[in-house]
């Protein structure tokens, strides 16, 4: 069996002056796996995602992505590592409204040489990579040069997914990206996202409070199951 994509060991984190928020003895995410992670607001989900991306540093323990201990990297090296290997889909999508759809999707390739090279190798050019991803996600080619803020919520969601997937990052993290959609639209979007992650060979870590989506994933976990601090607070 290959090494895990993500491996957490004895992870502890607390914001200054506050009680321990995360206390995770161990956690792994396998390469190519889709995982549904649930937890209520304030449970530490967003903090955990920040630790996985190297935005925050743990108070103790290790966060390893692709075998690399993020704590041993400098701040700038963590930034480079994150953009090279991780694609994010945010709850509010975080598109740049003054850029076109195509320009938004291509942004990771402007900051990551390795993702740009992978996009060119797979699709012939970065432009073709963006167009094909958007097409696979159901966005018509006629919208590529439209400003991102002129699109519907559902269309913006697909642009955000294409931006996360371009250049085949090994990990895609989705933080409540379907909260503005109805149930049928959420499930349809997820099926498209699964298909694109499989095509890219990416693992998917999907964070949501909507438990109805959990059966669609390879595995489902509650943050409380991982987090010893949360169990101690409930006791």
Q: Write down the pLDDT at residue 181.
A: 76
Query: What angle do helix axes 126-136 and 113-123 make, rounded to 10 degrees?
Result: 70
Q: Write down the pLDDT at residue 97.
A: 93
pTM metric for this prediction: 0.91
| 78 assigned to some structural domain | yes
The answer, yes or no, to whether residue 159 has pLDDT greater than 80, is yes
| 24 assigned to some structural domain | no
| 15 assigned to some structural domain | no
- More confident position, 41 or 148: 148
| 139 assigned to some structural domain | yes
The answer, yes or no, to whether residue 41 has pLDDT greater than 80, is no
Q: What is the mean pLDDT of the chain?
A: 90
| 149 assigned to some structural domain | yes
Span 167-226, pLDDT tens digits: 999 999 998 888 777 778 888 888 889 998 998 889 999 998 888 889 999 999 999 888
| 69 assigned to some structural domain | no
Q: Write down the pLDDT at residue 235.
A: 47
| 18 assigned to some structural domain | no
Give the structural domain span for 131: 34-58+74-234
| 93 assigned to some structural domain | yes
Q: Write down the pLDDT at residue 37.
A: 94
Q: Write down the pLDDT at residue 144.
A: 94
Local confidence band at 70 (pLDDT 50, 70, 90 cut-offs): very high
CATH code assigned at 104 = 3.40.50.300
| Over residues 137-145, mean pLDDT | 91
- More confident position, 76 or 183: 76
Q: How many domains does the chain have?
A: 1
């Amino acid at each position: 069996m290959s090494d895990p994509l993500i491996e957490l060991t004895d992870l502890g984190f607390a914001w200054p002056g506050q009680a321990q928020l995360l206390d995770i003895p161990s956690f792994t995410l396998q390469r190519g796996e889709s995982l549904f992670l649930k937890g209520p607001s304030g449970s530490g989900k967003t903090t955990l995602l920040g630790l996985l991306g190297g935005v925050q540093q743990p108070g103790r323990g290790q966060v390893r992505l692709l075998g690399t201990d993020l704590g041993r990297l400098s701040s700038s090296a963590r930034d480079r590592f994150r953009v090279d290997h991780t694609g994010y889909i945010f709850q509010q999508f975080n598109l740049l409204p003054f850029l076109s759809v195509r320009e938004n999707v291509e942004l990771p390739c402007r900051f990551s040489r390795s993702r740009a090279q992978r996009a060119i190798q797979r699709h012939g050019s970065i432009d073709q990579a963006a167009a094909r991803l958007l097409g696979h996600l159901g966005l018509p080619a006629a919208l590529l040069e439209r400003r991102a803020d002129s699109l519907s919520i559902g269309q913006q969601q697909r642009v955000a997914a294409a931006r996360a997937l371009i250049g085949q990052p090994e990990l895609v993290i989705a933080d409540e990206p379907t909260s503005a959609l109805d149930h049928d639209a959420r499930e349809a979007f997820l099926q498209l996202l699964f298909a694109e992650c499989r095509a890219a060979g990416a693992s998917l870590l999907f964070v949501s409070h909507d438990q109805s989506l959990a059966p669609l994933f390879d595995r489902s976990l509650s943050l409380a199951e991982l987090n010893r601090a949360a169990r101690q607070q409930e006791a």
